[in-house]
Amino acid sequence: MKLLRLHVSGYKNLGNIEFDFSKANGCALIVGTNGSGKSNLLEVVSAIFSACYYEKKNVESDFRFELEYIIERLRTASAGGGPSYAFPLRVMIRNVDGKIEVQVYQNDEWLYVNKKEWFVVLPEHVIAIYSGEEKRLWEDYYFDSYDDFNKQYMSAKPYSTQRMLYFNKYYWDLFASILAVHDVEEHRQFLETINISNINKIKCTFDLKKMRDNKNEMVKEILNIINPENLNEVELSLDKYEELKFLIGYEQEILFNMMVLVLYKEFKIITDFHVICSNERVIKDLSEGEKKLLVIYGALNIVEGENLILLDEPDAHIHEGIKKGIFDLIKSANSNNQFIITSHSPTMTNLFDKNELFVLTKQDGKICLLDEDKKHAISRLTDGIWCAEAQCVLLEGGQDLLLVEGKGDTKYIKKAFSYFKNKDEKYSDLNLFVLPFGGTGNCADFIQNIIEAGIINRKIIALFDADGSGRVKFSELVGRNGTTYTTKVYTLNNDVKALLLPKPDGNTNDEFMIEDYFDLSGYDAERERRYALCKGAKDKGEFKFSPKKYISEHCDEIGYEGFQLLCDKLLGILEGWSE
């Protein structure tokens, strides 16, 4: 499956917006600031296919959409009694006054598809992978599919495949168990990368009453393998669990059968299901990043077919190296899958191709896609310094900006702002979004280019370190002779001002940087303590513990009182901006 186009109007803050996915090659990364509609896009796609798969799921008439994609299945079918058509096939789904229409493009014309044959031209599964606690997507668009499937299964009648799948933390152990019992080299290698290659048993706790009440013949056969003696607790060897694949089938069939027994509240015969490694390590001991990799790998390698896969910020709160692992999993997946991914991460935005990147931004209170000219202009201006989300901040209306030299400056100033806002109400007006401009070498050209591009729509303050290189670049930007320290605030135009870091009264040091606002009275004692812990002449000879290192590790303990001078200066600039 490959998405071609999506037009949406009338859905929450997605007022009237069109996505051209035709060059995205099966993978669309959606970035933008909070409130820009990233998650709403996943809801839109989920709403469309939920309405297609389940007729009882109607859509509002004012929620207009047209979705086009290519389906690749190598088979033929007839559409609504019309002529047969061959795959790959172009499909369009749209809302006409609250009713879903599905059409296919065949022989240079659009043909309506009979509702009974929609399943032929829809993706085999829509899979949402979500790691947060928000339940709206699950409850509105995925629960009905899950509930219908489980009820059909419990009734012991023929049941249809679950088409809308929602995978989260509850699938960790199920995925690990299924991957472990299938003799696939790629599965073994993956489990090694997340440090659970030595799975040797599965601990299960059973609801004996539900076992006795069960009337499903397949479940009886499963239980005869995993709990033949009707015990309350069982520790299954991996060999015994592996017998299920000879009864049920391979990965997907085991998943669809076991998730009824393990997860569905109404039928939960297995009340606890935990994979255990030979060293007694369990899945919950994995890092957050390793757990996310497990869910994504399981979804991509256990569920069969031509699928649409939605990932909501899979890279949130994990190590940078794991983010690259997520990217690698996506890129190594079945080429017939289509991905839509939302992200805040600079790492992720830099990994994906420019044709796969879609930047949502707010302009004049409306959500829109950043057009290619502006997208390329701001990307060129920032030259890789900022991720796409930070680029959006520059282009959107809203908070005024404080541009600083580096990421360390950004971190400390943000914390200082928060500290003083909590301490004194007057600092609540210090509502600046802090962004780095990538070091002193970039700053003058960077800020000048932004001014010349004419894309500024709020106040910008450029703050330079008062060291040698900072003073040189500051002087270049503001056009002054000499590089001596000055307290003057320079106005570059109506929107941009620049200054050097304000120094405390009496400070005559030639160099002054952001770290000099911290109290270093505890540094010498901490350095001596660490030096004393060194063993041997070699360690002592190579010992390094700089003031910057001390500050980075103890900034919150030291506190931010020294930043009051900077906060007062910035507040005064904002209050007297037009003077």
What does the pLDDT read at residue 346? 67
Q: Are 6 and 19 in contact (CB under 8 A)?
A: yes
Task: Please state, in angstroms and rounded to a whole number, the distance separating the CA atoms of residues 390 and 366.
Answer: 18
Mean pLDDT of 354-378: 71
User: How much is the pTM?
Assistant: 0.73
166-190 CB burial, b ≥16 within 10 A, e <16: bbeeebbbbbbbbbbbbeeeebeeb
What does the pLDDT read at residue 316? 81
Q: Are 152 and 138 in contact (CB under 8 A)?
A: no
Long-range contacts of 262-269 (CB under 8 A, 24+ apart): 262/174, 263/170, 263/174, 264/146, 264/150, 264/154, 266/150, 266/151, 266/154, 267/150, 267/153, 267/154, 267/210, 268/207, 268/210, 269/206, 269/207, 269/210, 269/211, 269/214, 269/219, 269/223
The per-residue DSSP string of 248-264 comes to T-SHHHHHHHHHHHHH-
What does the pLDDT read at residue 336? 87
Mean pLDDT of 438-443: 62
Q: Lowest mean pLDDT of 10-19, 140-149, 159-168, 531-540, name the range.
A: 531-540
Q: Which of 165, 125, 173 is nearest to 145 (CA)?
A: 165
Q: Please check the confidence at residue 395 and state whether its pLDDT lies above 90.
A: no
Mean pLDDT of 551-577: 94
Task: Please state, in angstroms and rounded to a whole number, the distance separating the CA atoms of residues 213 and 234.
Answer: 19
Q: Please check the confidence at residue 381 and state whether its pLDDT lies above 60.
A: no
Task: Please state, in angstroms and rounded to a whole number, the distance separating the CA atoms of residues 296 and 128.
Answer: 10
Q: Lowest mean pLDDT of 318-332, 378-392, 477-491, 526-540, name the range.
A: 378-392
Q: Are 66 and 394 in contact (CB under 8 A)?
A: no
Q: Please check the confidence at residue 377 and state whether its pLDDT lies above 50.
A: no
Q: Provide the strand spans (E) within 336-444.
A: 338-343, 357-363, 366-369, 400-404, 432-436
Q: What is the pLDDT of residues 92-149, one digit of tens each?
A: 999 988 889 999 998 889 999 988 888 889 999 999 998 767 788 999 999 989 998 9
What DSSP designation does 512 have?
B
Mean pLDDT of 37-42: 88
Task: Please state, in angstroms and rounded to a whole number, the distance separating the CA atoms of residues 430 and 518.
Answer: 20
Beta bridge partners of 14: 11
Beta bridge partners of 515: none
Mean pLDDT of 312-319: 85
Distances (CA, A) of 224 to 241, 250, 261: 11, 19, 14
**Burial classification of residue 218, based on how many CB atoms lie within 10 Å of its CB (0-12 exposed, 13-18 middle, 19 or more buried):** middle
What does the pLDDT read at residue 208? 95
User: How many Cβ atoms from other residues are within 10 Å of residue 42's Cβ?
Assistant: 21
Mean pLDDT of 239-258: 92
Q: Which of 8, 81, 98 is nearest to 45 (CA)?
A: 8
Q: Please check the confidence at residue 457 and state whether its pLDDT lies above 70.
A: no
Which of the pair, 549 or 453, is modelled with greater confidence? 549
| Tokens read off for 366 | 């409306």
Q: Are 118 and 52 in contact (CB under 8 A)?
A: yes
Q: Please check the confidence at residue 448 and state whether its pLDDT lies above 70.
A: no
pLDDT band, residue 354 (cuts 50/70/90): confident
The mean of the pLDDT values for the chain is 86
Q: Are 502 and 569 in contact (CB under 8 A)?
A: yes
∠ Cα 193 197 200 (to 5°): 160
Beta bridge partners of 403: 435, 462
Q: Are 316 and 131 in contact (CB under 8 A)?
A: yes
pLDDT band, residue 436 (cuts 50/70/90): confident
Task: Please state, in angstroms and rounded to a whole number, the distance separating the CA atoms of residues 178 and 255.
Answer: 7
Which of the pair, 425 or 446, is modelled with greater confidence? 425
∠ Cα 317 194 343 (to 5°): 30
Q: Phi and psi at residue 512, in whole multiples of 5°?
A: -145, 120
Beta-strand pair 64-71/89-96: antiparallel
Task: Please state, in angstroms and rounded to a whole number, the distance separating the CA atoms of residues 173 and 276.
Answer: 9
Looking up tokens 């015990």, which residue turns up?
231
Q: Lowest mean pLDDT of 132-146, 305-319, 390-404, 477-491, name the range.
A: 390-404
| Tokens read off for 346 | 């600079």
pLDDT band, residue 418 (cuts 50/70/90): very high
Mean pLDDT of 343-359: 81
Q: Which of 432, 413, 438 is nearest to 514 (CA)?
A: 413
